[in-house]
Amino acid sequence: MKAYLDDLNDVQKRAVTHMEGPVLVIAGPGSGKTRVLTFRVAHLIEEGVAPWEILTLTFTNKSAREMKERIGQVIGPKTQNVWAGTFHSIFAKILRIESSKIGYDSNFTIYDTDDSRSLINSIIKELNLDKSVYNANAIKNRISSAKSNLISPKAYVGQEDLMQKDRMSKRPYFHVIYEKYVERCKRSGAMDFDDLLYQLYILLHKNPDNVKEKYQKKFKYILVDEFQDTNYLQNAILKKLVNYEDSKRNIFVVGDDAQSIYAFRGATIDNILDFEKEYKKHNISTYKLEQNYRSTDHIVQAANEVITHNSKQIPKKIWSDKGVGQKIKVIRTNSDAEEGKRIVDTILEQKSRNHLQNDEIAILYRTNAQSRVFEEYLRRYNLTYKVYGGLSFYSRKEVKDLLGYLRLSVNQNDEEALRRVINYPKRGIGNSSIDKINAFASQSDISMWEAMTKVPLSARAKNSLLDFKAMIEVFSKKAKSSNAYELAYFVAKQSGITNAMKGDTSIEGLARMENVTSLLDGIKDFVENDEAIDEVIVPDKSISTYLQNIALVSQADSETDSTDFITLMSVHSAKGLEYKSVFVVGLEEKLFPSFMSMETKEGLDEERRLFYVAITRAEQFLTLSFATSRFRFGKHTFGEPSRFLNEISSDHLETTFTRRSSNQQSSVPVLSGVKGNFRKKAANNFAIDAANFKASPSENIQVGMKVLHMKFGEGKVLSIEGGNHNKIATIFFKQADNPQKRIVLRFSKLQIVT
């Protein structure tokens, strides 16, 4: 037996050494799938298979590089000739060799996303179509979907259901754009990323004898990583490359149906679910890697319980020998702001009690817009963090755009803000006009704002500038009489930012809209939050104060260069990673699971798989949190805990509040409106029931009354002073850290109890 095989458990070893025929490896989370793929390639070479006869397909170049490095550590330099890479990189290599057979030159251009979007925009302009309806991102995604399903422009027109969908979405000319896009790419000798797959399929399909057979003979062994993430087209190409007439059919796929989470990118779980059926007649062998080397037993068993609620799956039972471990902590909060604070408090506790480093901790959320509140509290506690797979919230373009308008509303001489928003959304003030304004300002030693009305420009540009200037003046006037949220909401609408975003229904477009909404919600929270009103007579809720706070936040971000940081990321970005402590936040119905996925069984199943991925990132400590209310579109919205919480038995959960049941045997909370073991805590136990909380008119509050506050709990009014609009109440909150607080009543949000 080869020495390197001693590092494998029994199931891993049998999968690695299985030489002939189709193989399906179902690899649970933390079960060593990369090791199996690596050792499989090494074993094939050690058994005499030539490295260039092995094709290994991955989803990232990093995975391919790491795999070749690991193989090299096992068997030395022989691994260099293995064909290992992403679907796109390997297929591009084949296409460059065979391009003449489909009418392309070997040095064809590969269009990136920006190139494709630019071409689509030019076609939309040529056809004189409305760009707000025919949004380039949405069109690009639809073209990508068509290619991924092998639907050519000609075939598209023949499918009435697709044409009807376009008519219903008010884009009846999509098929014309698609046809022209394909023609223009071909005329330019260019392929986009989807073409690297689509054109390879065409190549293999139209040249079965001299191309398909050539590569079937060349690649005697094909290995595929993360098979659950393949789409229809990728699987169709694999079937072409596997020698279907050869009874051996040496295809080896590794994946986990329970971690199939990329349907929005076109991935189909059916590829892995149907793999056994597809190769049943050819003596397929299936191996299940069920031992988890990552997580403790409470976490593993919770994951098992959750995933059993999905109907379509390959049965497996993940297990761990890493000990029982700590129970999963569930945190219930009254608001998203409180959720941010409680999570950061728990992180500090874990760092102190369990000696965790920042880089051993991750906060996972369903949407990127959720990062804002956690970023703010991490900064308050001087904890270093990094947003993985994206920019820090206040560095995102759409956030900076709205903040640019707000800065300009306060200070019209802010030239950076002026440059940023003067032509966004587009209003006919091009770079040439901006350069002229800047040059005139420099020569005249005046600000660009002053120069706008004095610089000589064309009549059209001048009119656009005057309209823009008048709009900013309206914003400036409103800034003097409104609080930060009133102004921000007004600016978002009147500037055209929200209207410009509504046309983009792509995943990216929706995410940008969520970020703008989250910024507005954060400003609303700033206006309404009286957390720090102690010994402050009139809290300043102006846009100037808000912008000052944000400027300090942004500066803190730019100064962070530590390598020891807490990771913030979406669950989708977390796949394949692991941390000692994981916080999965925002576990509420319509958030996680997402409201966009709740209309179909398939959508809910994918959301559950996403939750499964989230909780299996944790090695030792797992914390789940939800808020009974959160700001959405500037208003408090009330929600129910995620159904996923109730799919975990109480045996694996720990909470800080008491379950109410007839037998009183469990410490798991009981929350109304949800099946199982969760009920909301009574108001007089400090955690206020947000659904039943109703602020009383501030003028009704009198000395001696008992009142409730959403954050501080129950309190007694000791005194009231000041005039009608600036009455300040001194209230004793017996359960607060600093019990005696002075609160301005008109900002207070208090509910009278007695």
Rounded CA-CA distance 642/144 in Å is 33
Identify the CA nearest to 388 among candidates 572, 174, 631.
572
CA distances, 395 to each of 166, 368, 379, 504, 661 (Å):
35, 13, 15, 21, 47
3-class SS letters over 244-263: CCCCCCCEEEEECHHHCCCH
DSSP 457-494: --HHHHHHHHHHHHHHHHHHHHHHHS-HHHHHHHHHHH
Burial of 314 (0-12, 13-18, 19+ CB in 10 A): middle
DSSP class per residue in 634-695: TEEEE-PBPGGGGGS-GGGEEESS----SS------B-TTSSSS-BPPPGGGSS--TTT--P
Instruction: Spell out the residues 6+ positions from residue 720 whose beta carbon is closer than 8 angstroms to its own.
Output: 701, 702, 703, 727, 728, 729, 730, 745
DSSP-assigned beta bridge partners for residue 320: 292
Maximal C-alpha separation, the chain: 92
d(CA 611, CA 650): 18
Rounded Cα–Cα distance for residues 437 and 479 (Å):
26
Token representation of residue 394: 């206040």
Whether 225 contacts 57, CB under 8 Å: yes
DSSP 153: H
Residue tagged 């958030």 (tokens): 591
Tokens at 81, concatenated:
């000739």
Tokens for 376? 């703010």
Give residues with Cβ within 8 angstroms of 170, minimum separation 6: 133
Active site members? 33-34, 225-226, 259, 617
- From residue 711, alpha-carbon distances to 335, 413, 671, 698, 745 in Å are 9, 40, 19, 17, 15
- Is residue 23 within 8 Å of 287, Cβ to Cβ? yes
Q: Please check whether residue 699 is in contact with residue 720, taking contact to mean a CB–CB distance below 8 angstroms.
A: no
Q: How far is CA 592 from CA 371, 386, 514, 606, 677, in A?
A: 15, 22, 15, 11, 18
Separation between Cα atoms, residue 296 and residue 326, nearest integer Å: 8
Tell me the C-alpha to C-alpha distance, in Å, between residue 135 and each of 148, 162, 493, 500: 20, 18, 19, 10
Minimal CA–CA distance to 175: which of 194, 158, 160, 156? 156
How far, in Å, CA of 586 to CA of 591, rounded? Answer: 7
